[in-house]
Amino acid sequence: MGRRAALIAARLALIAAVLLIWEYVPRIPGITGWAPIFDPFFISSPGKIAAKFWELATTSGDQGVVLKSGNLFVQLWATLWATLLGFVVGVSTGFVAGLVLSQTRILADIVHPYLVAVNALPRIALVPLIIMIFGTGLGAKVMLAWLIVFFIVFFNTYAGGRAIEPAVLDACRILGATRRQLLRTVVIPQVAGWTFAILPLAMSASIIGVVVGEFVGGAQGLGYIITVALGQLEATDLFVALLTLCLVAVALIGLAARLERRLLHWRPEHMSHEGQA
């Protein structure tokens, strides 16, 4: 058995062990007396969660925790669409702002302290203001995701632009390169490498921002399902939403990581990774 096959088998065995413990340990008589964490009221069971997932995925939304707002996949799409919008807008604006400020020292000296101050604010504290301005729909979720993603990308891009060796730029100028040529052939490739390296983290941050928005003021999405399930003390519904969100987050972050490897395939760490694969 190859190393990859053995790794997959070990991962599947771990999942199977967790599911078996989750399903059968709470059935042991008296177990909740000395280990309340195994109380089915709090953790439900894999069998009930699977059945509830099928119910929420196949109903029209007239029943259950979705409260006539569409079935599970409608809620999933609401979260997914807001996440992708927040990611794209946050990455693009963060890249442009980081690139401009890294190459304009006077502007950076003026604006940078204010950006640091805004970034220091907990994003959750800004949610009421965002909801007041944008309401409880898609705009508020995208705005909250943007607030998180933008600063992650901006500071990484800004650091990449400031990390360019002056000697490299001087050598290019001696060879006759214009400012536009320097920007296109030296600065942007260098800065883009720093930006692309942060894409998986930016995707994770976008998901967090959207779900927080759905917690506080959303009327759709997986975060909304979690909030309603908590209000109804429905652990099964809660775990359906949590596990669905976990799978979607892993898939999106994996896509972002794959995009990073493709865009930065020339880096040594990605070349060695491809060689091992």
Residue (of 160, 167, 252) closest to 208 by Cα position: 252
Provide φ and ψ at 175, rounded to 5°. -80, 0
Is 233 in contact with 255 (CB distance < 8 Å)? Answer: no
In three state form, how does the secondary structure of 255-267 look? HHHHHHHHHCCCC
- Residue range 95-122: average pLDDT? 87
Q: In sequence order, which ranges of 35-183 are alpha helices (DSSP H)? A: 40-43, 46-58, 72-103, 105-120, 123-134, 138-162, 166-174, 179-182
Q: Which comes out higher in pLDDT, residue 158 or 176?
A: 158
Which pLDDT score is estimated for 277?
46
Instruction: Calculate the CA 266 to chain-centre distance.
Output: 25
Express each pLDDT in 109-125 by its tens digit: 898 888 888 888 887 88
Neighbour count for residue 112 (Cβ, 10 Å): 14
With tokens 């990605």, the residue in question is 270
- Residue range 168-190: average pLDDT? 72
Q: Which comes out higher in pLDDT, residue 269 or 7?
A: 7
Quote helix, strand, coil % in the chain, to nearest 5.
Answer: 85, 0, 15
Q: Say yes or no to pLDDT of 22 above 90.
A: no
Which pLDDT score is estimated for 154?
92
Express each pLDDT in 246-271 by its tens digit: 988 888 888 888 877 777 665 555 55
Express each pLDDT in 24-72 by its tens digit: 888 888 777 777 888 888 888 888 889 888 888 877 654 455 544 457 8
Q: Say yes or no to pLDDT of 274 above 60.
A: no
| Percentage of residues of the chain with pLDDT beyond 90 | 16
Ordered structural domains, the chain, with CATH:
68-270 (1.10.3720.10)
Which pLDDT score is estimated for 151?
92
Is 261 in contact with 270 (CB distance < 8 Å)? Answer: yes
Q: Which comes out higher in pLDDT, residue 146 or 196?
A: 146
Which pLDDT score is estimated for 69?
47
